[in-house]
Structure 1
Amino acid sequence: MSKLRATEVFTPNDTPVHTYVDRRDLKLEELLRDALDTPKVVASVSGPSKAGKSVLIHKLVDPNLIILVSGATITKADDLWDQAIQWMGGADTESETDVTATTGSISGSMKGGISAILVKGEATGSLTSSLTGSSAVTKTRRVGGLPGVIAEIANSDFILFIDDFHYIPKDVQGELGRQVKFAAERGVKICAASVPHRSDDVVRSNPELSGRIAAVNIGYWDINELQVIGKLGFPKLNIDLANSVIERLAAEAFGSPQLMQSLCLNLCREKAVTEQLDQMARIEVNEADLARTFERTSAMSDYSSVVDGLHSGPKERGQERKQFRFSDGSTGDVYRSVLLAISDAPPQLTFTYDNLLDRVQRITIDEKPVGSSISQALSQMDTPLSKNLSPRVPILEWDENILNILEPYFLFFLRSSTKLSSLGGV
């Protein structure tokens, strides 16, 4: 029997087999199964980025029955249905040949769908007929888009899974919401996934979907739930690890099981464990091991250019921005103060304005940035900075009172890489 590999136990980018945590007390599997089994209802799964929304549906549904379309690839309503058709193998075409007879005969070969009155499908062969004259006109039409999807998978076990619905442009969501309702009413099973603060996007896209949505909220993973991943996985590799180490990894995973999987895998690599040990062995881990593990993990998602852009802020004419001194020994403007505040302990993905202001004041020495400059910087970081730096996958959102970090790996990179320190000359 071959030994388990670390990459089989800890799977950041795949559905876990050895380290799957069902969070049974939340009844997530039961709720999603009921939603998918209810006719003419759209299942809406909400949860933070990298919180396991895709893993949950792949755990319940045969992957061969999941038609996955990312909201990041949808710029117009037709994109959803066209991509679903492509997943099925491409759009079918139907050909119709209209023959007008006069006098004489017609012979030759034909290929394609004959008139629906005769045969629907493809035929190849020869045709000879006595006619009183003739003229033929062939019309070909594409059977795709929304009608094609309904024709192919309505009342079947296939699931159309729209991941990251919140990435779809607002002006497209309205039309798409109407089409989703139409498809669901005709028996197409649809599941949409989004982040918590945008979980109502599906309903808001078409208010008539109210009462036709079955919501399943995954929520943030707590530290105890994240620890289960390590407690299941390390013994599979015959690694005896101190609970304090697993707790530390879980604390740095920011509620993301995917990030926890990455941290556990990179700790194995840092300790040169690529496969199951011959027997159970105690592995000691010190602060230097953890620091290198965090650095390894931050390299898996390089946000250097995003941090560069957010740190620099928008180009401005006229006077230079006011400089401040910070507790890490660096100096910088209000944009650096915001990034340092976000990266400060304890790690979190959502900040109120007051919370963020307190952090800025705590890390700033002597003169502090004023509240209006912090608000202005946050508005610029949201639009246009972050959207220009990462247009298809938003990094953060600011709505005048709440800052949401949408991408846990961005926060991890900000905290664990040396990028922010190097920008400050520390």
Structure 2
Amino acid sequence: MCIKKLLSSDVFKPCNFPEHTYIPRESKFGIEYEQRLNLALNVSGTLISIIGASKMGKTVLCEKVIPFERQVNISGADFSNGEDFWSVIAQKIGLPFEGKTTESKQISNTEQHSKTESFILTKDMVIKHFASNNKVLILDDFHYASNEAQKSISSHLKDAIRRDFRAIIISLPHRSDAPIRNNADLAGRLSLIDIESWKINELEEIATKGFKQLNVKISTQVAQKIAIESLTSPQLMQYICLSICTALNVDNGETKEITSNILEKAYKLTTSNLDYADVVNLISKGPLSKGKSRTMYSTKLGEQMDLYKLVVESLSKNPPLMGLTIDDIKERVSDLIQNDMMKPDRQKIKNTVTQMQKIITDKDDIFKVLEWKDDMIYITDPLFLFYLRWGR
């Protein structure tokens, strides 16, 4: 029997289920996430809430545990404009909104009676379809739904789960699905799974396991460097490893050492598929100035920058962090400025970050890469930070 040779695209899959490089992880309870999700799915009458940072493997976890034929995947963005919850789900699974059903009854050997009735889709029909076909609703990016939609969905699901309707809500931690977790009527009916950030050694396993299957040697030190640049994201780790394979021409049988030059080439190659230029440009410019010129600072990079550009530049510096306090940013900005007498105070930096948040609030989802909350600036998309570090 001929065994098909694995290609790098078979092994490293940043956008699909990584069959050959899936890494099971333990939660803080010492139990694997897969076991926790399996248990939650087996408890009838509960709603499952999965929270974790972006690109952290929440959806991949669901794909690992739940067979494809049982999954019904929708996004919170589908409800951003007040769309009807059950209509959206019905459309996804192909149930007609309205129609006619005909019931035939044999009266005698020669006579048959038929009765035709019209119907309009109801939530009861959708719930029955899910229960009888053992389907699971996976509502990803719940934070993209409007606040009103979130409250409405919470109410709908409270009733549905009592009738063997299985559902999973996936959201980001700092945009937490509060209407779900804070709903008193759902108390005792929630299975809460908080996905922790990936550790360096867990990310290293992706590289070690994958390159071994491709017969490419990788040192522990190199695997660690890649893991650090992956910014706690297994998806980004998959991207970088695939780029390394491309840089090494692995699929054509070439085997080279993964050097520092190869790593830098792979990082830049990875960013070639990331389109954040408009995002960087928007937040670096800041709001339109109203006649008053901005203070410009001479930097150690040899450029003149205003405070907006300095804050953006500070995000890209070492060590790469997905969350920074105002004091962290102030320290990084100060390190960039040439003249000690010109360094901005904490309040100026806080005002700048606040304005940056306002700029992206009403923009498309791709622009929502930052979130300013509780004196912390969160980078919600690790791919954006990676772009800042290697794509400009």
TM-score, normalising length: structure 2: 0.90
Aligned partners of 1:341 and 1:360 also within 8 Å = yes
The SS at the match of 2:167 is strand
Task: Show structure 1 runs of 5+ residues with no match.
Answer: 95-111, 121-126, 130-137, 419-426
Of 176, 185, 201, the residue aligned with 1:224 is 201
* Residue in 2 that maps onto 1:56: 61
**Structure 1 or 2: more strand by fraction:** 1
The SS at the match of 1:274 is helix
Paired with 1:297 and 1:376, the residues of 2 have a C-alpha distance of: 33
Paired with 1:201 and 1:68, the residues of 2 have a C-alpha distance of: 21
**Does residue 76 of structure 2 align to residue 71 of structure 1?**
yes
Aligned partners of 2:12 and 2:18 also within 8 Å = yes
Give how far 1:246 is off.
1.3
Spell out the pairing of 1:171-186 with structure 2 (5 A cutoff).
Answer: 171-186=148-163
The 3 A distance-change label for structure 1 pair 74 and 181 is same
* Residue in 2 that maps onto 1:143: 121
**Does residue 24 of structure 2 align to residue 22 of structure 1?**
yes
* Residue in 2 that maps onto 1:368: 343
Paired with 1:321 and 1:64, the residues of 2 have a C-alpha distance of: 57
Give how far 1:268 is off.
0.4
**Does residue 381 of structure 2 align to residue 407 of structure 1?**
yes
Spell out the pairing of 1:1-150 with structure 2 (5 A cutoff).
Answer: 1-24=3-26, 25-76=30-81, 78-94=83-99, 112-114=100-102, 140-144=118-122, 146-150=123-127
Paired with 2:299 and 2:125, the residues of 1 have a C-alpha distance of: 60
The 3 A distance-change label for structure 1 pair 10 and 392 is closer
* Residue in 2 that maps onto 1:159: 136
Give how far 1:18 is off.
1.1
**Does residue 365 of structure 2 align to residue 377 of structure 1?**
no
Of 259, 263, 267, the residue aligned with 1:290 is 263
* Residue in 2 that maps onto 1:168: 145
Task: Show structure 2 runs of 5+ residues with no match.
Answer: 106-111
The 3 A distance-change label for structure 1 pair 391 and 261 is closer
Give how far 1:219 is off.
1.0
Q: 1:220 is aligned with what amino acid?
A: S
Q: 2:384 is aligned with what amino acid?
A: F
* Residue in 2 that maps onto 1:108: none
Aligned partners of 1:203 and 1:210 also within 8 Å = no
* Residue in 2 that maps onto 1:102: none
**Does residue 316 of structure 2 align to residue 343 of structure 1?**
yes
Paired with 1:364 and 1:140, the residues of 2 have a C-alpha distance of: 73
Give how far 1:90 is off.
3.4
Spell out the pairing of 1:181-330 with structure 2 (5 A cutoff).
Answer: 181-204=158-181, 206-274=183-251, 277=253, 283-330=256-303
Aligned-pair Cα RMSD in Å: 2.4
Paired with 2:78 and 2:323, the residues of 1 have a C-alpha distance of: 26
* Residue in 2 that maps onto 1:107: none
Give per-residue Cα distances to partners, 1:290-317, cap 9 Å, x unaligned. Answer: 2221111112221000000001011121
Give how far 1:396 is off.
1.2
The 3 A distance-change label for structure 1 pair 79 and 295 is farther
Greater Rg by CA = 1
Give how far 1:353 is off.
1.9
Paired with 1:81 and 1:143, the residues of 2 have a C-alpha distance of: 9
Paired with 2:85 and 2:192, the residues of 1 have a C-alpha distance of: 21
Paired with 2:177 and 2:98, the residues of 1 have a C-alpha distance of: 37
Q: 1:374 is aligned with what amino acid?
A: I
The SS at the match of 1:319 is coil
**Does residue 361 of structure 2 align to residue 387 of structure 1?**
yes
Q: Number of residue pairs matched? A: 379
Paired with 2:315 and 2:124, the residues of 1 have a C-alpha distance of: 47
Aligned partners of 1:69 and 1:80 also within 8 Å = no
The SS at the match of 1:197 is coil
Q: 1:361 is aligned with what amino acid?
A: S
Aligned partners of 1:72 and 1:393 also within 8 Å = no
